[in-house]
């Protein structure tokens, strides 16, 4: 009985949407619900859900005189590049997603971009700031926020206004993304007159597979 009710509600919703002249935009992406990246990835996923709910409640995305409800299509990529490749292919070929969001992290996004470029699908990056990802000749990949090299620029500028003679230390994970953030930040801090008294990377074992 519950399944019948759910099916009936789905039909009624589809009819109501059609009568209101609304259409649906399908956005596909993967989430690291499991694996090494699950904490940050799940936080990002909750942000997607909040955006969808608020946008649909406000009448959807309006473009060209029409209103479009947002439908999210997502799968667990397990923080695994092989899963990302399989799932982005599935979302394009089977789910027929209109647009795509990237996975969380630059490494997984680089893998997803191989697939989206192959099929000419636009993908917005959300949690992939490492700049080398955008220097691979991709034409359908769009970055929505500051690149990694500028992550600490504002922090250094803010410190200069508060304590221009402060001593600065950098302690960071010896990982690709962390190095992409800190490597340009150290000379920038020195250019702003700060004395960088300590800089050291530590090893932290992650399974990115």
pLDDT at 207: 52
What is the rounded end-to-end Cα distance, in angstroms, of the chain?
A: 44
pLDDT digits (tens, 9 = 90+) for 68-120: 999 999 999 999 999 999 999 999 999 999 999 999 998 999 999 999 999 99
**CATH of 2-145 given 3.65.10.10, 2.60.120.560, 3.40.50.2300, 2.30.30.90:** 3.40.50.2300
Nearest-CA neighbor of 110 among 174, 176, 48, 51?
176
Determine the Cα–Cα distance for residues 130 and 109; give it in Å rounded to an integer: 10
pTM, rounded to two decimals: 0.71
pLDDT at 147: 80
pLDDT at 144: 79
For the chain of 209 residues, list the mean pLDDT of each consecutive stretch of 10.
41 42 87 94 95 96 92 97 97 96 93 95 88 84 83 92 94 86 92 94 67
Determine the Cα–Cα distance for residues 30 and 131; give it in Å rounded to an integer: 21
Contact 45, 103 (CB under 8 A): no
Please give the structure tokens belonging to residue 159.
Answer: 């410190």
């Amino acid at each position: 009985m519950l399944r019948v009710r759910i099916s009936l509600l789905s039909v009624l919703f589809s009819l109501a949407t059609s009568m209101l002249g609304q259409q649906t935009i399908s956005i596909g992406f993967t989430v690291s619900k499991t694996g090494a990246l699950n904490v940050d990835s799940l936080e990002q996923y909750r942000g997607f859900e909040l955006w969808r709910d608020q946008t649909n409640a406000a009448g959807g995305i309006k473009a060209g005189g029409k209103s479009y409800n947002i439908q999210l299509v997502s799968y667990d990529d397990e923080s695994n590049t092989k899963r990302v490749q399989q799932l982005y292919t599935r979302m394009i070929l089977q789910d027929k997603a209109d647009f795509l969001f990237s996975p969380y992290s630059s490494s997984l996004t680089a893998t997803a971009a191989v697939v989206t470029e192959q099929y000419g699908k636009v993908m917005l990056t959300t949690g992939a700031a490492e700049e080398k990802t955008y220097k691979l000749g991709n034409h359908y990949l769009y970055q929505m926020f500051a690149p990694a090299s500028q992550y600490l620029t504002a922090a250094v500028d803010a410190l200069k206004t508060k304590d221009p003679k402060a001593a600065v230390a950098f302690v960071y994970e010896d990982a690709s993304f962390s190095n992409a953030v800190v490597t340009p930040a150290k000379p920038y801090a020195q250019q702003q007159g700060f004395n960088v008294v300590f800089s050291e990377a530590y090893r932290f074992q992650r399974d990115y597979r």
